Amino acid sequence: MPRKTALKTRRPARVQPSLTKDRITAAAVELADRDGIESLSMRKLGQTLGVDPMSLYNHVRDKDDLLDAIADAVVGEIQTTPADADWMASLRDVLLSARTAMLRHPWAASVLETRVTPGPATMRHMEVVLGILRRGGFSIDLAHHGLHVLGSRVFGFSQDLFDDKSEPIPDPAALQAISDDMAAAYPNIAELALAVRHEGGLGGCDDDVEFRFGIDLILEGLERLRERERQRGGAATAT
């Protein structure tokens, strides 16, 4: 009688999740959180994901493209608020959420400061902030300044969103076309872009102007608080 050989059950091969840009970005963010942004390299990221580092280039062009993606991913963590909420409460919620995201990823400010082109999440964040300010009754000029000063407070720097000093000013028809292309997804950004770029409009973003605006805003706010405190002290003395 022939001996029966024991049948060995073969374990199914472990299937690795498919490599996507989102998965690469998430792994890069985790790596930067754990080991610092200076540790982020294609080689180390490939090791973390268990893939050949060269395969990453099928999804990201280069290191700069990866940095764009992780910066935008951090901004994408910032929560938004309902459109019909009070503007001050809405803006406060957005800014506190932004601070939480930045504290969660301490390296993010240094990366965001070096990015040239805002990603989709960054565009949505700017659209939300501009929308809150515009619905709150702010002019496009004040909303523009507000976007700068709030960005510098949250992200640690004031980014030139529309740095067009070296570019020729398009003709009115071209400007309108740019505005029309953006208006569907980002109506407030489109309005700001048109105002900034239009000849005789707001003019380009100027670091010195934005810095002075931020200082004046802080000083005037402190003056209002000082006066409020003085009035409360006077009322207490009178009673």
Q: Which residue has the higher pLDDT, 72 or 163?
A: 72
Tokens of 74: 């951090």
Confidence of residue 199 (pLDDT cuts 50, 70, 90): very low
How do residues 27-36 score in pLDDT, each as one tens digit? 999 999 999 9
Please state, for a pLDDT cut of 70, what percent of the chain lies above it: 77
pLDDT at 190: 86
Q: Is 159 exposed, middle or buried (0-12, 13-18, 19+ CB in 10 A)?
A: buried
Give the model's confidence band at 207: pLDDT under 50 very low, under 70 low, under 90 confident, else very high.
Answer: confident
- Does the predicted model carry a pTM greater than 0.95? no
pLDDT score of 159 more than 70: no
Report yes or no: 147 and 118 within 8 Å, Cβ to Cβ.
Answer: no
Statement: residue 230 has pLDDT above 60: yes
